[in-house]
A and B are shown apart, each in its own frame.
Chain A
Amino acid sequence: MMPDSTGTIYDIGYRGYDGPRLGRRGAIGAIVSAGLRAVFGLGRSGRSKILPWGAVVLAVLPAGVAVAIRVLAGDLIDLYSYDNYLWGIGALMPIFIAAQAPELVVNDMRHRVLPLYFSRPISRLEYVAAKLAAMSLALLALTLLPVLLLFFGRVLAAEDALAAVGDEIGALPAIIGSGVLHAVVLASIGLAICSVAGRRAYAAGAVLAVFLVGGVMGGTFGSQGGGLEAIAPFVNPLAILDGAREWLFGGSVMESPVGAAGVPMYLYGLAVAVLIAVSWAVLAMRYRSVAT
C-alpha cells in the first residue's frame, strides 16, 4: 500500500528545444567565428587586444606611408612593390602567430573541454579544420589587407583613376594568391607547433624558436659563398614562402635569400607542399590521440 503523498510537483519551466538546428555546418561556423574573436581579442579586455591589433597596425603602416609618399612626391621612389611587401613585414608574422595561435588550440586541450566539442556532431578533423580556417582568416589581416591597401592607394593616387585600375588590375590575382598562400601555410605551421605544446607560454616560445632559428640559420648560410646559399632559403619558412610566391606569381625580392640560392623554382612549391603535409599530419595525429 502506498503512503499518502504530500509532495507537490512544481512546473519549473523546462522545455524542449524546437528551434532550428544548425547541424554540423553551424557548429563549424561557430568554431571559426569564435576563433576569430579569440585571435583579435574581441569581447576580451584591452590588454589582450594590444598584440593582435598592434601587429595589424604595424603591418598596414608601411602601405600607408608608401601611399602617402606617392601622393605627395609622385612615383619618384617606390618603397614597396606588391612583391616585396610581405617579405618586408615578415618579422611581424611569427610574433602574431606566437601570440595568438596558442589562444586557439592550447586552452581547449589544457582545460579538457575537447570532449564537449566532440560530443556534438562534428568530427575531430572538422574541429581542426575550423581552427585552421580561423587562424588563416585572421592572418589575412597581415598578409592580404596591407597589400590590398597599397593597391587601392596606388589606384586612387593616380591622376586618372580608371586608367590606373587598368594598369594595376593585373597584379590583383598575385596579391590575393600570395596573401592566401602565406596565411594558410603560416597558420598550419603555427597551429601544428602549438598543438603539441602543453601550455600557452611554451607554445609561444616554440613558435618563436622555430622562426628565429630558421631565420638566423638561413641568414648565416646565405651570407656565405660555396654552395651553402642554395640551402639557405629552405631552413626558413618565410623564405620558402617567398620562393613559392615567386614561383607562382613572379617578381623577385632583393633582400630574400631566394634570389641568391639559384635553385629551380618548383622546389619551393615542393617545400611548401611538404610543410603543409607535415603540419596537417601533426595536427591530425595530435587530435586523434586526445582522450575523450
Chain B
Amino acid sequence: MTAALLSLTLRGLLNRRRTLLLGLIGALILLVAVIYRLSGPAEAEASTFTGRLLADFGLGVLLPLVAVIVGTAAIGSELDDGTILYLLAKPIPRMLIVAIKLLVAAGVVTVLVALPILLAGIIGTGGSASLGLAYAVAAAFGALEYTAVFLALSLVTSRALVIGLAYVVVWEGVVAGLFAGTRIFSVRQHALAVGDALAGDGAVTAELAAGSALLIGFAVTLLAFGLAVRRLERVELRGDSN
C-alpha cells in the first residue's frame, strides 16, 4: 500500500510540463555559473560570487518557487480534482498519507533544487565541491520545511499557491528585508543559516544562529505536519468534483 502511495504521488508530481519548467529554472542557476566561469574570474573572488549565487538565487528564488509549486500540488491537486476521495476511502491512516506525500514532495523539491545548487557550486568555484555541498544540504533542509508549510497551507485554503507566493515575495522578500525581527519566521533565513554554518567563512552571513534556525525549522515542520494531518482527518471535499 505504501509503495503504491509512493508511486502515485511521484507520478502526480512529475507531470511532464511542470517538471520541465521547474527544471528550466534550475538550469538557469547552472547557466549563470557557467557564464561566470567563462568570463575568466579572479580565483580569489570565485567563492564569494558563487556563495552569493547559491544563497540569493538558489536558496532565495529557486528553492521557494519549486517548493511552493510542488508543495501545494502534493495533496492540493488531488483535492482539486476530487481523486483524494479514492485515497481517503482506503483504510490507510491519514497520518501515513500526509507523511508519505510530504516525504515524496520534499524529495522531489530536494532533487530539483539541491542538485542544480551542488553543480553550480562546483562549476562556480572551479572544481571544489564543499561550498555547493553546504548549500545543497541547506536546500534539502529548507525543502522539507517549505514543503511541509505549503502542504499544510493547501489543506487550509484552496488558494494555497497564491498565498504561498505572496508569503515568499512579500514576507520573505520585502518584510524580512526591512524588519530584522521577522527573520526568525522566514524559512529562507533558516536555510541560509544552515548553509552559512556549513560553508564556514561563507560569502553570505546569515542573520540567525544555525542552532536556533535548525530548532525553529524542525518545530515549524512538525507543526505544519500536525496541522496537515488534522485537516486531512476532517477534510471536506470541495471544488466542482461531484
Interface of A toward B, CB cutoff 8 Å? 91, 94-95, 98, 200-202, 204-205, 208-209, 212-213, 216-217, 219-221, 223-228, 231
Contacts and interface: CB of A to CB of B under 8 A. Distances in A.
Interface string B27-38: 010001001100
A228 B165 contact: no
Contact of B57 (A91, A94, A201, A220): A220
B169 A219 contact: no
B68 A205 contact: yes
A239 B28 CA distance: 19
A205 B165 contact: yes
B41 A226 contact: yes
A220 B32 contact: yes
A94 B61 CA distance: 14
A201 B161 contact: yes
A231 B159 CA distance: 37
B49 A201 contact: no
* Leading 7 A-B pairs by shortest Cβ distance: A201-B161, A216-B57, A212-B61, A216-B61, A224-B49, A220-B53, A216-B56
Given A224-B36, A226-B40, A228-B35, A213 B165 contact: no
Which residue, B28, B42, B52, B162, has most C-beta atoms of chain A within 10 A?
A: B162
B20 interface: no
A98 B49 contact: no
Interface string B94-113: 00000000000000000000
B69 A205 contact: yes
Given A95-B169, A216-B56, A209 B35 contact: no
Contact of A91 (B161, B165, B174): B174
Contacts of A205: 65, 68-69, 161, 165
A5 B40 CA distance: 96
7 contacts: A205-B68, A213-B28, A217-B32, A219-B56, A220-B32, A226-B39, A231-B35
